């Protein structure tokens, strides 16, 4: 799939190519394997892959795995699957940990150039010495160690002679810089934690700000695209590249992060939801993770179109969730069959229909997309309609459904008229006694009279048992990602509703999508069995946006 994107980064790439600054566009998507990807990541992913593709360039998938404390191989596999699902093919799959040795060599180079030193200040002291936005920092007392001493101490760090936190390697830049990131940032710290790829080989790990620019340089990345919060890390990025004497000079470009109304994306909150068991897992259909959206039935095309349509600029933007829904409806409208399901069934008995007969009526799969063909639906004396499609008395002229002594069309079948109702002991209506008119068969050209509307139905003896899952926002009030959001108390307990009913008889494949007539778009959930089809509502037919 060729994705058309027009934005300021494309313009930069275009001019860099034209001016001969780069020969080929090379980008990378660098997820940290410490969580599942979410819809926000899709912006970074689509941007990196689509822009490189536009210029026939390359995109590497690079796992940014330099912090073993939080990373895990299971996330690596999940991320690879998500990227495949969205339809992107990385030209290479690399790991930050592939470069541990080269990165270490570059640290030695900086020490030899007197641009890095081993510092013995503890974390508290380090932050005190660092100063604040309004006051300059103070030089560490260890800043002027000799090259020889630094080399020896750094080698000892690698050998595991010190405890975590005892010593770090820092860049020697400028403790008075107005950019706090430039005040002798830490390059390496000691972590006595096994790594998912290098196991116990290393006890020192490079910091993101040191490792990332080097990885970009080693891979020949031309445009290193990242979200806006790295803006004030760019001087350090450039310092690392310039002083480490790499063959290649990558360029960092920042873009705004994507937020969506009523959608929490922060890894911390998603983790809390999973760990507190308020959701069923990362692939809970209410989650904004790509696995969650996929299970909910969201399509890759809708997600990609949404990402493109939200545009890209150098400001963080919040987009209405309704916009994503719009692209789902657009994507599913002409691609899916329209079938009939009954969520809250009410029995209908046709008193003038033969007892043991089941007839099959031909109907189009999608009246707006005839190329999707047709199918046969069952019809007999025993039917189900939606409870809410019947009232004893027609309340007003807008009620286009069934009522006592009124006639409606059953979609794709006949007109039926309700003549009587059956009550149970508690006084609820449990069955409608109706008659059908054989002359009114669908497509027979009958135009003798107009029914009071058209409703849908399921034939009772052949239809399958179905469970309908309907979802709402995970959080109660319109929530933004404010600091310390109390996610547990804001959790919307009504965010997953279940209805039991029936659906047309056919074979249902997991992840298959269709429209349920007069209701919305649905997908078949992985928990479906032969006895019961489990359906997830993707989105309603019409926008409920007020
Ligand atoms: P962390 O706080 O752990 O770094 P992260 O959200 O940045 O979290 P990464 O795995 O590092 O997660 O993200 C991979 C890439 O996706 C990064 O380039 C990041 O900038 C980008 N990204 C993540 N969330 C968004 C978002 N909401 N909008 C745009 N880009 C995003
Ligand atoms: Mg990150």
pLDDT tens, position by position, 216-244:
999 999 999 999 999 999 999 999 999 99
Residue among 29, 44, 65, 293 whose CB has most ligand 1 atoms within 8 A, to mutate:
44
Distance 9 CA to ligand 1 centre (A): 17
Nearest bound ligand to CA 256? 1
Q: Note the pLDDT tens digit of each residue in 283-314.
A: 999 999 999 999 999 999 999 999 999 999 99
Q: Is 40 in the pocket of ligand 1 (CB under 6 A)?
A: yes
Could you tell me the pLDDT band of residue 489, with boundaries at 50, 70 and 90? confident
Distance 492 CA to ligand 2 centre (A): 28
User: Are β-strands 520-524 and 513-516 bridged in parallel, bridged antiparallel, or unpaired?
Assistant: antiparallel
Q: What is the CATH number of domain 337-540?
A: 2.40.240.10
**Spatial contact of 161 and 152, defined as CB atoms under 8 Å apart:** no
Q: Note the pLDDT tens digit of each residue in 111-169.
A: 999 999 999 999 999 999 999 999 999 999 999 999 999 999 999 999 999 999 999 99
Distance 459 CA to ligand 1 centre (A): 50
In angstroms, the CA 441 to CA 429 distance is 27
- The confidence score (pLDDT) of residue 480 equals 58
If you take atom 27 of ligand 1, which residue's CA is the nearest one? 40
Alpha carbon distances (Å) from 252 to 9, 70, 232, 235, 323: 11, 25, 11, 10, 30
Distance 31 CA to ligand 2 centre (A): 7
Q: What is the CATH number of domain 8-255?
A: 3.40.50.620
For 384-450, the DSSP string reads EEEGGGEESS--STT--SEEBT-EEEETTS-EEEEEEEEE-TTS-EEEEEEEEEGGG-TTS---S--
Nearest bound ligand to CA 264? 1
Residue 2 pLDDT exceeds 90 = no
Residue 43 pLDDT exceeds 90 = yes
If you take atom 9 of ligand 1, which residue's CA is the nearest one? 31
Lowest mean pLDDT among 183-187, 315-319, 480-484: 480-484
Residue 542 pLDDT exceeds 90 = no
Residue among 28, 37, 40 whose CB has most ligand 1 atoms within 8 A, to mutate:
40
Mean pLDDT of the chain: 95
**Spatial contact of 475 and 491, defined as CB atoms under 8 Å apart:** yes
- The confidence score (pLDDT) of residue 545 equals 46
Residue 546 pLDDT exceeds 50 = no
Distance 74 CA to ligand 1 centre (A): 18
Q: Note the pLDDT tens digit of each residue in 239-280.
A: 999 999 999 999 999 999 999 988 989 888 999 999 999 999
Measure CA 2 to chain center: 21
- The confidence score (pLDDT) of residue 483 equals 62
Tokens 């669908």 sit on residue: 442
Q: Is 43 in the pocket of ligand 1 (CB under 6 A)?
A: yes
Distance 488 CA to ligand 1 centre (A): 24
Q: What is the mean pLDDT of residues 31-59?
A: 97
Compute how many other C-beta atoms are within 10 angstroms of the C-beta atom of residue 275. Answer: 9
Residue 57 pLDDT exceeds 80 = yes
Q: Which residues are catalytic?
A: 32, 257, 267
Q: Is 30 in the pocket of ligand 1 (CB under 6 A)?
A: yes
According to DSSP, the residues that pair with 28 across neighbouring strands are: 60
Range list of H helices, 131-228:
147-159, 208-219
Q: What is the pTM of this model?
A: 0.94
Q: Is 31 in the pocket of ligand 1 (CB under 6 A)?
A: yes
Q: Is 226 in the pocket of ligand 1 (CB under 6 A)?
A: yes
- The confidence score (pLDDT) of residue 81 equals 97
Q: What is the mean pLDDT of residues 486-497?
A: 90
If you take atom 14 of ligand 1, which residue's CA is the nearest one? 31
Q: Is 41 in the pocket of ligand 1 (CB under 6 A)?
A: yes
Distance 64 CA to ligand 2 centre (A): 8
Q: Is 257 in the pocket of ligand 1 (CB under 6 A)?
A: yes
Q: What are the boundaries of each domain within the chain?
A: 8-255, 337-540
Q: Which of 259, 245, 250, 269 minimizes the C-alpha distance to 475?
A: 269
Q: Is 267 in the pocket of ligand 1 (CB under 6 A)?
A: yes
Q: Is 279 in the pocket of ligand 1 (CB under 6 A)?
A: no
In angstroms, the CA 33 to CA 37 distance is 9
């Amino acid at each position: 799939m060729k994705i058309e994107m027009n934005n300021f980064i494309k313009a930069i790439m275009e001019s860099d190519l034209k001016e001969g600054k780069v020969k080929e566009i090379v980008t990378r998507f660098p997820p940290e394997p410490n969580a599942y990807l979410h819809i926000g990541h899709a912006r970074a992913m689509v941007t990196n892959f689509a822009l490189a593709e536009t210029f026939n360039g390359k995109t590497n998938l690079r796992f940014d795995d330099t912090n073993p404390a939080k990373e895990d191989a299971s996330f690596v596999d999940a991320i690879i699957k998500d990227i495949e699902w969205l339809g992107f093919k990385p030209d290479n799959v690399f790991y930050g940990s592939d470069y541990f040795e080269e990165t270490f060599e570059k640290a030695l180079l900086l020490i030899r150039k007197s641009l890095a030193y081993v510092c013995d200040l503890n974390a508290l002291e380090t932050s005190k010495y660092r100063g604040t936005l309004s006051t300059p920092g103070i030089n560490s007392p260890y800043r002027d160690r000799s090259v020889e001493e630094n080399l020896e101490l750094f080698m000892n760090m690698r050998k595991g002679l010190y405890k975590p936190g005892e010593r770090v390697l820092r860049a020697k830049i400028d403790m008075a810089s107005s950019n706090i990131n430039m005040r002798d940032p830490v390059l390496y710290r000691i972590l006595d934690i096994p790594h998912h790829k290098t196991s116990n080989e290393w006890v020192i790990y490079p910091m993101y700000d040191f490792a990332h620019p080097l990885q970009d340089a080693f891979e020949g990345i031309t445009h290193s695209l990242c979200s806006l919060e790295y803006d004030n890390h760019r001087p350090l990025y450039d310092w690392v590249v310039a002083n480490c004497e790499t063959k290649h000079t990558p360029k960092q470009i920042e873009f705004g992060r994507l937020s969506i109304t009523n959608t929490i994306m922060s890894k911390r909150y998603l983790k809390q939801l999973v760990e507190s068991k308020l959701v069923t897992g990362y692939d809970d259909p209410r989650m904004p993770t790509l696995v969650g959206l996929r299970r909910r039935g969201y399509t890759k095309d809708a997600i990609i179109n949404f990402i493109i349509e939200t545009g890209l600029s150098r400001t963080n933007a919040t987009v209405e969730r309704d916009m994503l829904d719009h692209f789902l409806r657009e994507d599913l409208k002409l691609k899916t069959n329209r079938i009939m399901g009954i969520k809250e069934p009410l029995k209908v008995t046709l008193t003038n229909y033969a007892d043991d007969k089941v007839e099959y009526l031909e109907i189009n799969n999608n009246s707006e997309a005839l190329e999707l063909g047709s199918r046969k639906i069952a019809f007999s004396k025993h039917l189900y309609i939606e409870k809410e499609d019947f009232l004893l008395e027609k309340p007003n002229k807008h009620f286009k459904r069934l009522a006592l002594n009124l006639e409606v069309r059953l979609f794709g079948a006949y007109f039926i008229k309700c003549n009587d109702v059956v009550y149970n002991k508690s006084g609820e209506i449990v069955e409608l006694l109706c008659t059908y008119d054989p002359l009114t068969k669908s497509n027979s050209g009958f135009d003798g009279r107009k029914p009071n509307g058209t409703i849908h139905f399921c034939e009772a003896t052949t239809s399958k048992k179905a469970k309908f899952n309907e979802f709402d926002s995970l959080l109660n009030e319109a929530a933004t990602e404010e600091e310390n959001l109390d996610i547990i108390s804001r959790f919307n307990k009504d965010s997953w509703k279940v209805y039991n009913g029936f659906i047309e008889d056919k074979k249902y494949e997991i992840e298959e999508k269709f429209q349920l007539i007069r209701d919305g778009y649905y997908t078949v959930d992985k928990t479906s069995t032969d006895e019961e089809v489990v359906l997830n509502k993707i989105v309603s037919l019409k926008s409920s946006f007020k």
